Structure 1
Amino acid sequence: MKGSDTEVNLAVNLAEAYNKTDPTFSMAISGGGSGLGITSLLNGQADIANSSRPLTEEELALFKKKNMLLKTVVFAEDATAFVVHSDNPITEIDVKTLSKIMSGQVENWKSVSGQDVPINIYGRQSSSGTYSFIRKKLKIAYSQKAKEMTGNAQILEAIKIDKSGIGYVGAGYISKKIQDNKGIKVLKIKNDADSNAISPLDPTAIKNRLYFFQRPLYQFIPEKSWAKVLSFIQFETKGEGTKIIENSGYYLIQ
Structure 2
Amino acid sequence: MKKTFLASILVLGALLTGCGGAKENKVIQVKGSDTILNVTQGISEEFMQKNPKAKIAVTGGGSGVGISALLNKTTDIAMASRAMKSSEYDKAKEIGLSVEEVVLGFDGITLIVNEKNPVKGLDSITLGKIFRGEITNWKEVGGEDAKIVTLSRDSSSGTHEFFKEHVVRGGEKNNLEYGNETLYMPSNEAIKQEVKSNKYAIGYIGMGYMDNSVHALAVDGILPTKENVSNKTYPIAREVYWYVPSNREGSLKELVDFAVSPEGQGIVESEGFIKR
Q: Distance in 1 between matches of 2:184 and 2:201?
A: 13
Change (3 A) 1:92 1:226: farther
Q: Distance in 1 between matches of 2:98 and 2:143?
A: 54
Residues 35 and 128 in structure 1, CA contact (< 8 A), matched pair in contact too: yes
Residues 34 and 127 in structure 1, CA contact (< 8 A), matched pair in contact too: yes
Deviations 1:12-36 (A, max 9, x none): 0111111111111121001110000
Q: Is the aligned partner of 1:156 residue 2:185?
A: no
Alignment identity in percent? 33
TM-score by length of 2: 0.84
Number of aligned residues: 240
Paired residue for 2:126, among 97, 107, 119?
Answer: 97
Alignment correspondent of 1:207: 230
Q: Is the aligned partner of 1:165 residue 2:195?
A: no
Paired residue for 1:52, among 81, 92, 95?
Answer: 81
Deviation at 1:78, TM superposition (A): 0.6
Alignment correspondent of 1:76: 105
SS at match of 1:111: helix
Alignment correspondent of 1:141: 177
Alignment correspondent of 1:193: none
Deviation at 1:96, TM superposition (A): 0.7
SS at match of 1:5: coil
Q: Distance in 2 between matches of 1:119 and 1:108?
A: 5
Change (3 A) 1:43 1:204: same
Q: Distance in 1 between matches of 2:121 and 2:162?
A: 20
Deviation at 1:162, TM superposition (A): 0.7
Residues 123 and 167 in structure 1, CA contact (< 8 A), matched pair in contact too: yes
Change (3 A) 1:227 1:22: closer
Q: Is the aligned partner of 1:240 residue 2:263?
A: yes
Q: Distance in 2 between matches of 1:204 and 1:43?
A: 38
Deviation at 1:224, TM superposition (A): 4.8
SS at match of 1:29: strand
Structure with bigger RCO (C-alpha 8 Å, 6+ apart): 1
Q: Distance in 2 between matches of 1:129 and 1:149?
A: 13
SS at match of 1:107: coil
TM-score by length of 1: 0.91
Q: Distance in 2 between matches of 1:242 and 1:54?
A: 20
Q: Is the aligned partner of 1:85 residue 2:114?
A: yes
Runs of 4+ aligned structure 1 residues displaced above 4 Å come to none
SS at match of 2:36: helix
SS at match of 1:81: strand
Q: Is the aligned partner of 1:40 residue 2:107?
A: no
| Amino acid of the structure 2 residue aligned with 1:159 | V
SS at match of 2:100: strand
State the superposition RMSD in angstroms: 1.2
Residues 83 and 167 in structure 1, CA contact (< 8 A), matched pair in contact too: yes
- For structure 2, the 5+ residue unaligned runs are 1-29, 170-175
- For structure 1, the 5+ residue unaligned runs are 176-180, 191-196
Q: Distance in 1 between matches of 2:266 and 2:132?
A: 38
Q: Is the aligned partner of 1:188 residue 2:218?
A: yes
Deviation at 1:203, TM superposition (A): 2.1
SS at match of 2:275: coil
Deviation at 1:226, TM superposition (A): 4.4
Deviation at 1:228, TM superposition (A): 3.2
